[in-house]
Amino acid sequence: MKEHQIVSCYNFNLAKRLGAYSAVAAATASVADTAGAAEVIWDIPDIVVGDDPGLLFNMVTGETASAASDEGNATPGSMRLIGNYAALTSFAGAYIYTPASSTFGAFVGVGSDATLLAAGSQIGENQTFGRNADSSSLGNYANLNNWNLEGTRGFVGIRFKLDNATHYGWADITYNDALNTATLHAFGYNDTPEATSTPPSDSAPAPLAITEFEHDTDANTVTLTWRKTTATSYILKYSTDMSDWSQDLDDGITAADDENPQDTDHITVTFPLFETLTEEPDLFFRIEEEI
C-alpha cells in the first residue's frame, strides 16, 4: 500500500445472505501512516447496550451481534460490552470483556477500573494494562463504573492477540449509570503488530468508507457506495480472509462510473462477481484510492 493511501473495506457472509452482519451499517476505514501501520476504524451506528450478556464486537471484522450468553466468546479479537451486570447485583455496572480463555487480553486501567482516555491518546506498550481475570469461559475484564458522571463519553484502550502477535486498539463508549446502559459509538485497532493505536479526534476528516452495500444473489452482483474523496480513480479489492488483499475485482473506477451522480458526496457502482467467488463462505471488499 502506498504511503498515505486511504482504504475502506466491507464484508459479508455469502452463506448467511448478509443477515448476520445487518448491525454493521457503516464500513471500516483505515488510514496508513508514514511507518506503514494502518488504523482500522469501524464507524458503526450507535448501539445502546443494556443488561448482560450484552454486545459482541469484533475488532478485526467489524461485526457486532447480541451475545448469546456471558460465556463462550472465544473468537480472536472479539470483545463483549455490558451496560449493566444485572446477573450479580453486587457487580452492577458496565463492563468490557476480552475473548474467553484469553491470558493476554487487557484494558488500559488501574486495578479493575478502565481508564477514561481522550481522543489522540497513544495506546501501546507505554500504557498500564489491567488484566483482571474472570473464569476462563468469560475472559478478562474492566469496569467503567469509575467514569462517574452520567453520560460520560471516552475511549477504552484495548490490548489483544492475533496469531500470537500483540495488537492495540480502542472502543468509543458512553457510560450512563442512571440508565444502566453503555453506548458503543465506534471501535478500531492498529493492524500492524506492536504498533501504537490512536483514537481519532472529532475534528478528523470523514474517511474513505463504504457506506452502503447490496448483494443481488439473482444477478450475482454487489453494489457498493463509498464516500467520494479527491482521488481521480479507485480500486476494488477482495479477500476471503482479511489478510490477503492482492486480488482486484476492478480498478480504474472513476466518477464516470457512478450510477447515482445526483449524490455529489458518494460514488455508487455495481460489480459482477466471479463465479468462483460465490462459492466462498466469507468475502471481504476493500476500496482504495488509486494514487
Q: Given the C-alpha cell 476471503, which residue does it identify?
A: 240
> According to the model, what pLDDT value does residue 58 have?
94
Q: Going by C-beta distance under 8 Å and a sequence separation of 6 or more, which residues neighbour residue 243?
A: none
User: Cell 446502559, residue?
Assistant: 181
Predicted model pTM: 0.61
Cell digits for 200? 481519532
How far apart, in whole angstroms, are the C-alpha atoms of residue 217 and residue 153? 41
Determine the Cα–Cα distance for residues 160 and 191; give it in Å rounded to an integer.
11
DSSP-derived 3-state class of residue 278: helix
pLDDT for the residue numbered 274:
84
In 121-273, the DSSP E strands lie at 129-130, 132-133, 140-143, 152-162, 165-176, 181-190, 210-216, 221-227, 234-239, 247-253, 266-272
Q: What pLDDT shows up at residue 134?
A: 61
Q: What is the pLDDT of residues 186-232, one digit of tens each?
A: 999 999 999 999 998 753 445 566 777 788 888 989 898 887 888 89
What CA–CA distance (Å, rounded) separates 196 from 35?
11
Query: Which pLDDT score is estimated for 73?
Result: 86
Measured distance CA(33)–CA(47) in Å, rounded: 29
What pLDDT is stored for residue 160 in this prediction?
94
The whole-number pLDDT of residue 23 equals 27
For residue 149, what is its C-alpha cell?
458522571
- pLDDT tens for 239-249 read 876 667 788 99
Cβ-based neighbours of 31, under 8 Å, separated by 6 or more: 4, 6, 7, 38, 39, 41, 207
**How far is CA 239 from each of CA 146, 169, 245, 272, rounded to the nearest angstrom?**
41, 22, 5, 15
Exposed/middle/buried for residue 76 (C-beta within 10 Å: 0-12, 13-18, 19+): middle
3-state secondary structure 57-95: EECCCCCEEECCCCCCCCCCCEEEEECECCCCHHHCCCE
Q: What is the rounded distance in angstroms from the CA atom of residue 59 to the CA atom of residue 187?
A: 7
In this structure, what C-alpha cell is assigned to residue 48?
445502546
DSSP string, 223-264: EEEEE--S-S-EEEEEESSSS---EEEEEEE-GGG-S-TT-T
Q: Answer yes or no: are the C-beta atoms of 175 and 182 closer than 8 Å.
A: yes
Which portions of the chain are predicted below pLDDT 50? 1-10, 13-36, 203-205
* pLDDT, position 267: 94
- Domains, the chain, ranges and CATH? 45-190 (no CATH), 210-289 (2.60.40)
Grid cell 501501520 in the structure block, residue: 37
